[in-house]
Amino acid sequence: MAYLGTFILLNNGRFRDSMGELLNQGRQLRQDDSMMLTYLMFIEFLIEGLIMLGETSWFLMGMIDNKGVNRYVLLLTCLDRPGIINEITGALFDVNANIVHADQHSTDDEYGVFFIRIEFVLSGSSEGLDDLVDQLCASLSAEAKWYDLSQPLRCSILVSKEDHCLQELLYQWKSNSLNITVGSIISNHDQYGSLAQWYGVPFHYVSSESKHVSEEQIIEKTQSTDILIMARYMQILSSDFLSTYNRPVINIHHSFLPSFTGAKPYHQAFSRGVKLIGATAHYATEALDEGPIIIQKVSPVTHRDNINDLKQLGTHLEKQCLLDAIRAVSEHRVIIHDNKTIVF
């Protein structure tokens, strides 16, 4: 950036004229043997030039790196046809939006379903975005929604005995690597009080003795959340819970779904003699381990690996898989279609 600012500075007419005037004065002063005055004037103009360089650099940095300032995402789904891009970009132009990223996908060259994610910046407020979305939904018979990237997703994390996924999420959140805020940690084990206190997050112990009671308590403690994360929470959430919560619930399952659903997938994989193990982050639905898949990770294994080896390898896969899924969801890069996802 400093090199770019220097280039602009040296090509600035005011700066060139000032330097020319300085040289002329310097010649006159040299003839009068007033070298000290020439030196002082040179320092003055040098400082002025550095100030101009600093102002230019900051201006360009603002233009080039405007991440997080008035930055928004538009997600849209509709039947594919010619002219969709023209209509969307035209509508964004009408509200003075500048597109900085765009990704699209169609399920078929003709008569397919069209998906698009557009990231854009606005010089003013977001007041016109609701009208923009309504306009596009009407003209394209589309489903669309806009998001403000400066507003992180509010989440709560459910966890049982294994804490590797929880630890990774908390670390990445506190490192400003995830566009989320963690409102609480909820567990059917009472071992996370000190960890939650370390990260400044409320901890709630919920006994799993009564499913109905525990789910009521979870609902009560997650009213203000946007998503619920099951970070190796080894309890099955009921259909009543999912319908009552009525917001995305993201689960990490320790197998490469659809293989080895349910309990003890590493034992199932070992018994089957697989050569790959995996982890799957997916949306939780009423059907166990059958919700739309967001991210999957795999690792090769051999006949020499026992069940503990599979678990150790899987630990890394699970936390990385869940992390990548939460990052994609928090950046609004995921669109659900039927029982599948488009992940931009």
Classify each residue of 2-15 as buried b or exposed e, where b means 16 or more C-beta atoms within 10 Å of its C-beta: eeebeebbeeeeeb
Q: Are 7 and 1 in contact (CB under 8 A)?
A: no
Whole-angstrom Cα Rg for the chain: 28
The CA distance from 58 to 4, in Å, is 11
289 is annotated as an active-site residue: yes
The residues, ordered by sequence, that sit 6+ positions from 37 with a Cβ below 8 Å of its Cβ are 29
Classify each residue of 303-314 as buried b or exposed e, where b means 16 or more C-beta atoms within 10 Å of its C-beta: eebeeeebbebb
301-305, long-range: CB < 8 A, 24+ apart:
301/274, 301/275, 301/276, 301/277, 302/275, 303/273
Catalytic residue among 289, 305, 309, 338: 289
The CA distance from 170 to 149, in Å, is 20
Residues with a known catalytic role = 289
